[in-house]
Amino acid sequence: MLPRLLLLICAPLCEPAGLLLIVSPSHPTEGSPVNLTCKMPSLQSSDAQFQFCFFRDAQALGPGWSSSPKLQIANMWKEDSGSYWCEAQTMASKVLRSWRSQINVHRVPVADVSLETQPPGGQVMEGDRLVLICSVAMGTGDITFLWYKGAIGLNLQTKTQRSLTAEYEIPTARESDAEQYYCVAENGYGPRPSGLVSITVRIPVSRPILMVRAPRAQAVVGDVLKLHCEALRGSHPILYWFYHEDVILGSSSAPSGGGASFNLSLTAEHSGNYSCEANNGLGAQRSEEVTLNFTGRRSTRDPLRSLPSPVPQEFPYLNSPTPGQLQPTYENEPREQSVAVHGRQQHSSEQKAQKPWGHIWRTRFP
pLDDT digits (tens, 9 = 90+) for 153-162: 899 999 999 9
Do 196 and 123 fall into the same domain? yes
Kindly give, in sequence order, each residue whose CB lies less than 8 Å from that of residue 181, ignoring residues fewer than 6 positions away: 115, 132, 147, 148, 149, 150, 196, 197, 199
Do 198 and 212 fall into the same domain? no
Q: What is the pLDDT of residue 97?
A: 92
Q: What is the pLDDT of residue 159?
A: 97
Asked which of 53, 79, 103 is the last residue of a domain, the reply is 103
Asked which of 165, 186, 202 is the last residue of a domain, the reply is 202
* 298 falls within a domain: no
Cα dihedral sign, 10-13-16-19: negative
Q: What is the pLDDT of residue 297?
A: 60
Q: What is the pLDDT of residue 258?
A: 87
- The chain-wide mean pLDDT, for the chain, equals 78
Q: List phi, psi (to 5°) of 9.
A: -70, -40
Asked which of 147, 173, 202 is the last residue of a domain, the reply is 202
- CA distances, 205 to each of 127, 283, 286, 362 (Å): 14, 7, 10, 25
Helix (H, G, I), strand (E, B), or coil: what is residue 117?
Answer: strand
Note whether 40 and 18 are within 8 A (CB): yes
Do 24 and 97 fall into the same domain? yes
Report the C-alpha gap between 188 and 79 in whole angstroms.
Answer: 13
Positions in the chain short of pLDDT 70: 1-17, 42-48, 296-366
Ramachandran class of 202: left when φ > 0, alpha when ψ lies in -120 to 50, beta otherwise:
beta
The residue segments making up the domain with residue 117 are 111-202
Q: What is the pLDDT of residue 353?
A: 33
Q: What is the pLDDT of residue 241?
A: 96
Q: What is the pLDDT of residue 301?
A: 47
Peptide bond into 16 cis (omega under 30): no
pLDDT tens per residue, range 330-341: 222 333 333 433
Report the C-alpha gap between 98 and 40 in whole angstroms.
Answer: 9
